[in-house]
Amino acid sequence: MAHVLIVGSGFGGSIAAKRFTEAGHTVAIIEMGEDFRDPAKLQQSQDTKFILRLFRDYPVDYLQSKPRLIVTQGMGLGGGSLVYSGIHLRAPANVFDSWPTGYTRSNLDPYYDRVEARIDATPDPATFAYGRPSVFAQGAAAAGLPAPRAHPLAMTGCTHCGWCVPICKWGKKNTMAHTYLADAIDTGRVQLWTNRKANYIAKYGNKYRVTYWKTDSAQDNYHMVNDGRLYYQEGDIVVVACGAVESPPLLERSLNESLPAGWSRINGFDDSTLGTGIDGTGDFVQGGFVPQEVFGYQGAIMMSSLDMGDYVLQDLHAIPVGPTVKFESSFYLDGKERTWGLSYKQKLKDYGKHMIAVAIIGKSPSGANISVSDDDGNVAVGGNAYSPPTGSIEAARSIITALGGELGNTPWERRGVAATVHPVGGCAMGNIVQPTDLQVFNNPGLHVIDGSVLPASPFRNPVNTIAAIAEKAMDVLLDVPGAPNW
Ligand SMILES: Cc1cc2nc3c(=O)[nH]c(=O)nc-3n(C[C@H](O)[C@H](O)[C@H](O)COP(=O)(O)OP(=O)(O)OC[C@H]3O[C@@H](n4cnc5c(N)ncnc54)[C@H](O)[C@@H]3O)c2cc1C
Ligand code: SF4
């Protein structure tokens, strides 16, 4: 039996942990964020001191530096599943046209089934009893768009309190810590090393060593820790599962670091595409005030999807810090465009009752134009803003105006800013990893299992596809009878 080191505990890392441990192997998980399993640690709060323990922003100083591209991801034991909205959608069939041979929607369907069953992703039958999805559906009908459907949510016994982001205080969101990781821990074969940020991977004889810094002296923003004493763990197999932003720079550092005596670098591979071709999955949000009573806070945070083929529109409620501080929306008030002041404050007094936001996710015509690279132990995100899926902003706006609403001017309209929580790619299968078992080319025992291996956008919220691919790769890696050869 092998000893496996898994770096990162999000969707890919947790699925790998369950599968390896249930096959009898031992696993150590190295995760830079905190262990949030104690409910006493959880808050329904907009306090940045709490939020920055759960989110990774790239660049971290975006409120000051005002870049045109911002990427945000979750961190902690469970990774993005701690902060996610619980939405599990399957990618449409045409997504797979450009993927390596064998990857088709029908071939992936059994793996989607497996993930949805384990995570209990089901549509909430009460969806359209809530103001926000119901007004969203009214607006779609008035605008002549297809009817939204309740989308599958990974929630059990949800109280509909609307605080799924940053985290569910009531344990009703089926995060990795409640499902795949819990299964792995139940085997008794897992060691958890939280508050540890991996620096690089090297070889030592026939073993791998993963070096890391401790992050527990930091208060938040654990992804920015890049100094202090370096420790290491040793294993037979390493799974890199740090997500699309952090996995490519971890491999980049592993190819370049100077090493202690007796250690050797991982084998070379064609790294010309490493950290490039990352897709923001067309994320945009269009908000506005509508005369109908929305009661945005009620219900889960995003409950329904309207399928437009290459993109979806989803009803969204976000805590006000988003549209007021992080991605400030302006309104024309007293003849001026305003993002602050008394009239703006008065405008926002109806935020909970009348603000509706339409999230857009899908195929961006600008393609996969984001890149990431190592910046002395941290990550530099490059590239300009991607553009919205064709026709999506107009469709989102038409829902609000058909309701007789007033549109907010978003950072995209005002300053050409794009912000994604759904980056995929950077260690694409076929380029950096083998499509079959997601092994890094030329490096037996070194795998990448996370959103970075997607060769292109899934045109939908990506976790269902990331998780299905992870399950499939683990079947191949563990040589499960009947495992596919693609
Ligand atoms: C607010 C929000 C809501 C979202 N809602 C949805 C949704 O409803 N549906 C959906 O499909 N997608 C959603 N997403 C996107 C989803 O969270 C990501 O696509 C998904 O988590 C990616 O999975 P992953 O396994 O690639 O990596 P992650 O889940 O990001 O896990 C990577 C883990 O690795 C850790 N890590 C990174 N670098 C290191 C290092 N050097 N050393 C140690 N640990 C490291 C990180 O802390 C993290 O815990 C949402 C994202 C956000 C931010
Ligand atoms: S709406 Fe449901 S899943 Fe979201 S925070 Fe409340 S109880 Fe948790």
CB of 170 closer than 6 A to ligand 2? yes
Spatial separation of the C-alpha atoms in residues 20 and 261, rounded to whole Å = 31
Whether 422 has a pLDDT exceeding 80, the answer reads yes
**What is the mean predicted confidence (pLDDT) over 107-128?**
97
Q: What is the pLDDT of residues 205-242, one digit of tens each?
A: 999 999 999 999 999 999 999 999 999 999 999 999 99
For ligand 2, atom 8, the nearest C-alpha belongs to 168
Instruction: Identify any residues that bridge with 306 across adjacent strands, giving them in sequence order.
Output: 313
How much is the mean pLDDT over the chain?
A: 95
Domain ranges of the chain: 3-477
- 291 Cα–ligand 1 center, Å: 36
**What is the mean predicted confidence (pLDDT) over 326-348?**
85
Q: What is the pLDDT of residues 246-305, one digit of tens each?
A: 999 999 999 999 999 999 999 999 999 999 999 999 999 999 999 999 998 899 999 999
- 124 Cα–ligand 2 center, Å: 12
Confidence class of residue 46 from pLDDT cuts 50, 70 and 90?
Answer: confident
- 300 Cα–ligand 2 center, Å: 6
**What is the mean predicted confidence (pLDDT) over 360-380?**
96
Give the pLDDT score at 322.
Answer: 72
- Residue to mutate, 42, 81, 84, 163, ligand 2, most ligand atoms under 8 Å from C-beta: 163
Give the pLDDT score at 352.
Answer: 87
Whether 324 has a pLDDT exceeding 80, the answer reads no
- Smallest CA-to-CA distance from 440 within 223, 265, 234 is with 265
Give the pLDDT score at 132.
Answer: 95
Q: Look at 107 and 47; give whichever has higher pLDDT.
A: 107
- 165 Cα–ligand 2 center, Å: 9
pTM: 0.98
**What is the mean predicted confidence (pLDDT) over 404-417?**
92
Cβ-based neighbours of 126, under 8 Å, separated by 6 or more: 160, 299
Give the pLDDT score at 63.
Answer: 87
- Smallest CA-to-CA distance from 420 within 450, 448, 383, 449 is with 383
- Name the CATH code of domain 3-477 (choices 3.40.50.1100, 3.50.50.60, 1.20.120.450, 1.10.760.10): 3.50.50.60
Confidence class of residue 68 from pLDDT cuts 50, 70 and 90?
Answer: very high
Confidence class of residue 456 from pLDDT cuts 50, 70 and 90?
Answer: very high
**What is the mean predicted confidence (pLDDT) over 88-94?**
98
Cβ-based neighbours of 340, under 8 Å, separated by 6 or more: none
**What is the mean predicted confidence (pLDDT) over 54-78?**
95
Q: Closest ligand 2 atom to the C-alpha of 173?
A: 3
CB of 12 closer than 6 A to ligand 1? yes
